Chains A and B, each alone.
Chain A
Amino acid sequence: MSHRFKAWPSWAAMFVVAVALLAIGSTRDSGPLNPGDRIDAISRRVACPVCDGESVFESRNPASEAIRAEIRASVYDGVATDDEILSAIANSYGGKVLLVPSSSGFDALIWALPAAGLMIGLVGLWFAFKRWRAEAAALGVPTEGDYDLVEQAREQHRGTSDD
């Protein structure tokens, strides 16, 4: 395929098509969640109060069944929002039943530390590349002799290639 076909205008056309598709798909109204899906979505965010590590959605414990029944009743009432239903459950059973930690106080660490980790990683990469570039600059521009030496080495190993 010619290089001309793969030139930047083709990329620009591709970009426009991709953005248009993303816009169509992400903004179209697929209607409200059906009650079953909404009950599932809320119950996934609530921990079973008596079993280890399971959400109300997964657990078949009677305590979880009771909470699911509360969620079902609230959803079919059609008055409260998801967050209001979750708040009501947290008030009844305590904050520890919510599977998403809050973003305040000590719990905020669980959100802040990954962000800090990402920043450390990016800054570390930035410093590493800065150092490597400085090292490369210090070596100066390769001479013709350097290129000849490398070319000789490549000639010697011709016939083998990387995978």
Chain B
Amino acid sequence: MSAALGNAGLLIALVAASVGALATSVAIIGENRRALRQAPIYAAIIVAGSVLAVVAMQWALFSRDYSIDFVQRVGSSTTPALYNVAAMWSALEGSILLWVIVLALFTGGVALRFARRRDDELVAWALVVMYVVMTFFALVSFGPASPFAPGATVPVGFDGPGPNPLLQNHILVLFHPPLLYLGYIGFTVPFAFAIAALITGRVGEGWLLETRRWALLSWGLLTIGILLGGWWSYEVLGWSGVWAWDPVENASLLPWLTGTAYIHSVLVQQRRGMLRVWNLSLLVATFALTILGTFLTRSGVINSVHAFAAGEIDGYLLGFFGVVVVVSLGLIGWRGDALRAPGRIDSPVSREGAFLANNVVFALFAFIVLLGTVFPLLVEVFQDRQTVVGAPYFDRLSMPIGLILLFLMAVAPVLPWRTSSAGTLRDRLFWPAWCGVASLAVAVMVGADGLAPLLAFFLGGFAGGAAGRQLVLATRRQGLRGLVGRANGGMLVHIGVILIAVALAASNSYTHSATLTIGRGETVEWSGHSFEFVGVSTEVTARADVVMADVLLDDTKVYAPAVTTYLQQGMTVPTPSVRTGWTSDVYLTIDGNDPPATDADEVVLRVFVKPMVLWLWIGGAVMAIGTVLSALPSRRSRRPTDPTSALITSGQHV
């Protein structure tokens, strides 16, 4: 029953998307306004079909419908209800279904938002593009990655293994993948409008204004999704880190980097009508990288070129990626003359000059991440040997890039549009620079060392001072309304980024760890903390056996790093126990391969003392708030024809 309903839902979505794309295209070309007004109806049908498919899948998971292969693999009667919801995206077919429903909702959102402009060609072509993308994913979900494919006959009383234990070990699993997908897939909207602008020839700034909030929303959701992924990694994986630079993580970072470049450079186009080709290219890159990232992480091709033939959707994804790139670049080439920028950037020392530098740095960063991610594949193809590129490579190259970006964040907010003078910079950067020096002085006083982290603290303070200066000026003028709007909300986002950068610099540079062997009732002192092994406690459920080592930390509270053995899978997962503090975390784990017996005389404890980790999450929250504020309209709106800054007189260039 669930399979039939689910397949019906997917088929409805597939047919509605493909017919919608075709019928709307014909209506536009034939200038059939009546037919054009029907275009949003397909979106409603797509949403209905996708919701039906997802409800059917959730019902199948909750009712343990083992006639479905996917449920046989990820369903279990012992999985708690919340993780049963998340089981849908714990394997390939379900995650493609998640993609389908999110894309359907965005398509419905576009149809609803632009309902009054149904006969506008720009909107209609954008809907066509969304229908085409929807057709592709509905086709993949209905065909090669069907979550409703029938399973083998199972014996009476069969119970599935449930999702991977790592995906039923922390509440963040419920939020991290959907938010990441919302961010990924949300970029389909500005991409669709960009393609529509190219098709219609309306390549001015109109489509940018239409999609500004969609791009910002997607970027914000992707940011939160990535941060929650880091938080999940920290709380679950037991190695005390938030980012390992593995291909899956890199796949999410790539569109974030190009998306970040886009939401900056788009301001130059809105103000000056420039960088049209560049902005279109960034949007195409962002969308294409979401497809490429899915291909890289779902095909296993990163680990071995021979995996090309292993998966059934690899060819689909690679083919779609190729189509997206070729069609987009073809359209950009076709509209080349219309895209030629009418203006010029007068001086590198200007707001737009800083945005340009920002874009070069982000593009380079994205290139490095992409190169490091696919390099093992290149080595295997050209040299027939295996190699790995890991965190040390990425750390080494991302550190100078991070410092340059902090410097740009410090300088750019005080730069006027068009040009600046040395006197202006001297005055406006004075207090921000002293903030940087103060931040550096505090770091040195508390014992920080090493040139790179010290530079990060200095530049973090400098950039924070620049953002704070703008917020102070804005709130002086407008009160709390001064926090709202693109520029000032953006400054709050900058402060969030700075908190994260400083926290990463501190936690990566000054983490200390030790392996402590502690006898029962004994107290060991290390790194200014005391650890007393109180005993071992256990918890037995139908799903898992949990062994916890109770450790009294600093004579204040008992922490219990655990090892959970999932009975269905026979898999052990160590779970850290973390004392979170304003200045540092104490992170405790025990060996998953050798958990202590209940009457153990001693425990082997792995301890990490990690500074400033809490500020990563606070920074993320500040970024989220800033993103929302920057999406709200500011009180002082400006018309596109308004002058952007004071006149430039001869000799004023810096």
Task: Select A25's contact among B371, B383, B448, beta carbons within 8 Å.
Answer: B448
Kindly specify which of B121-129, B189-197, B630-638 makes contact with the partner chain.
Answer: B630-638
Q: Is the CB of A24 within 8 A of B379?
A: no
Q: Contact: B437 with A21, CB < 8 Å?
A: yes
| Contact (Cβ within 8 A) B437 A14 | yes
Are A136 and B397 in contact, CB atoms less than 8 angstroms apart?
no
> Is residue B244 contacting chain A, with contact meaning CB distance below 8 A?
yes
Point out the residues of chain A lying under 8 angstroms from B372, CB to CB: 110
Q: Is the CB of B371 within 8 A of A114?
A: yes
B574 within 8 Å of A (CB atoms)? yes
CB nearest neighbor in A for B634: A163
Q: Choose among A101, A129, A161 the residue that contacts B393 (Cβ–Cβ < 8 A).
A: A101
State whether the Cβ of B440 lies closer than 8 Å to any Cβ in chain A: yes
Residues of chain A contacted by B582 (CB below 8 angstroms): none
Tell me whether A99 and B639 are in contact (CB under 8 A): no
Distance in angstroms from B444 CB to nearest chain A CB is 4
B402 in contact (CB, < 8 A): no
A70 in the interface (beta carbon within 8 A) = no
Docked Cα-Cα span, A153 to B348, in Å, equals 26
From residue A18, how far is it (CB to closest CB) to chain B in Å? 5
Closest chain A CB from B225 CB (angstroms) = 20
* Interface residue total, chain A, C-beta cutoff 8 A: 70
A-chain residues with CB within 8 Å of residue B423 when the two chains form the complex: 3
Contacting pair B639 A8 (CB below 8 A) = no
Would you call B239 and A57 a contact (CB within 8 A)?
A: yes
Contacts of B388 in A (CB 8 A): 47, 53, 96-99
B593 touches A161 (CB 8 A): no
**Interchain CA distance A53-B484 in the complex, whole Å:** 42
- The reply to whether the CB of A77 lies closer than 8 angstroms to some CB of chain B is no
Q: Is the CB of B379 within 8 A of A136?
A: no
- Which single member of A37, A135, A162 contacts B344 (CB below 8 Å)? A135
Q: Chain B residues near A44 (CB, 8 Å)?
A: 391-392
In the complex, chain A residues whose CB is within 8 Å of the CB of B302: 52-53
B209 cross-chain contacts in A, Cβ below 8 A? none
Which residues of chain B in 611-654 are interfacial with respect to chain A, using CB atoms and an 8 Å cutoff?
634, 636-639, 641-645, 647, 650
Q: Which residues of A lie under 8 Å from residue B450 when comparing CB positions?
A: 25-26
How many A-B pairs fall under 8 Å by CB?
A: 189
A34 at the interface (CB under 8 A from B): yes
A6 and B427 in contact, given A36-B512, A153-B643, A163-B636 (Cβ under 8 angstroms): yes
Specify which chain B residues have a CB less than 8 angstroms from the CB of A26 in the assembled complex.
Answer: 449-451, 454
A96 touches B345 (CB 8 A): no
Which of B388, B392, B458, B591 is packed against the most chain A CB atoms within 10 Å? B388
Interface 9-residue window, one of B93-101, B180-188, B359-367? B359-367
Cβ distance A49 to chain B, nearest Cβ, rounded Å: 10
Pairwise interchain contact B392-A45, C-beta atoms closer than 8 A: yes
**Within the assembled complex, what's the spacing in Å between the Cα atoms of A136 and B379?**
47
Of residues 85 through 125 on chain A, the ones whose CB sits less than 8 Å from some CB of chain B are: 95-101, 106-107, 109-110, 113-114, 117-118, 121-122, 124-125
> Interface range on chain B: under 10, 10 to 19, 20 to 34, or 35 or more?
35 or more
Chain B positions within 8 Å of A129 at CB level: 345, 348
How far apart are the CA atoms of A47 and B388 in the complex, in Å?
7
| Chain A residue nearest in CB terms to B648 | A142
A58 located at the interface, meaning its Cβ lies under 8 Å from any Cβ of chain B in the complex: yes
Give Cα A131–Cα B644 distance, bound, in whole angstroms.
22
Known: A34-B514, A60-B574, A99-B392. A18 touches B458 (CB 8 A): yes
A49's closest neighbor in chain B, by CB? B388
Docked complex Cα distance between A18 and B438 (Å): 9
Looking at B168-176, B318-326, B428-436, B543-551, the stretch in contact with chain A turns out to be: B428-436
Stretch at the interface among B33-41, B156-164, B485-493: B485-493
Q: Are A30 and B433 in contact (CB under 8 A)?
A: no
Quick check: is B205 within 8 A (CB to CB) of the other chain? no
Task: State whether A162 and B417 are in contact (beta carbons under 8 Å apart), knowing that A21-B444, A60-B593, A157-B643 are contacts in the complex.
Answer: yes
Residues of A within 8 A of B434 (CB): 14
- Is the CB–CB distance between A55 and B391 below 8 Å? yes
Given contacts A18-B440, A26-B449, A106-B383, A162 and B642 within 8 Å (CB-CB): yes
Cβ-defined partner of B389 (8 Å) among A24, A52, A99, A153? A99
**Interface membership of B537, Cβ < 8 A:** no
Q: Give the residues in chain B near A58, CB-CB below 8 Å.
A: 237, 239, 241, 244
Residues of B within 8 Å of A97, CB to CB, are 388
Taking a contact as CB atoms closer than 8 A, the residue among B237, B368, B430, B636 that contacts A161 in the complex is: B636
Known interface pairs A101-B375, A107-B379. Does A154 touch B390 (Cβ–Cβ under 8 Å)?
no
Cβ of B522 under 8 Å from chain A = no
The distance in angstroms between the C-alpha atoms of A153 and B346, with both chains bound, is 20
Interface contact B244-A121, CB-CB below 8 Å: no
CA distance A141 to B649 in the complex (A): 9
Instruction: Give chain B nearest CB distance to A141 CB in angstroms.
Output: 6
B465 near A: Cβ within 8 Å?
A: no
Residue on A nearest B514 in the bound complex, by CB: A36
9 contacts between A and B (CB under 8 A): A22-B451, A22-B455, A34-B514, A53-B244, A53-B303, A109-B375, A114-B371, A125-B348, A162-B644
- 12 additional A-B residue pairs with CB within 8 Å, beyond A117-B364, A135-B344, A162-B638: A22-B455, A26-B451, A30-B447, A52-B302, A58-B244, A100-B396, A106-B379, A106-B383, A121-B360, A147-B647, A160-B636, A162-B636
Interface residues of B (CB under 8 A from A): 237-239, 241, 244, 246-248, 302-303, 344-346, 348, 356-357, 360, 363-364, 367-368, 371-372, 375, 378-379, 382-383, 385-393, 396-397, 417, 423, 426-427, 430, 433-434, 436-437, 440-441, 443-444, 447-451, 454-455, 458, 485-488, 511-515, 574, 591-593, 634, 636-639, 641-645, 647, 650
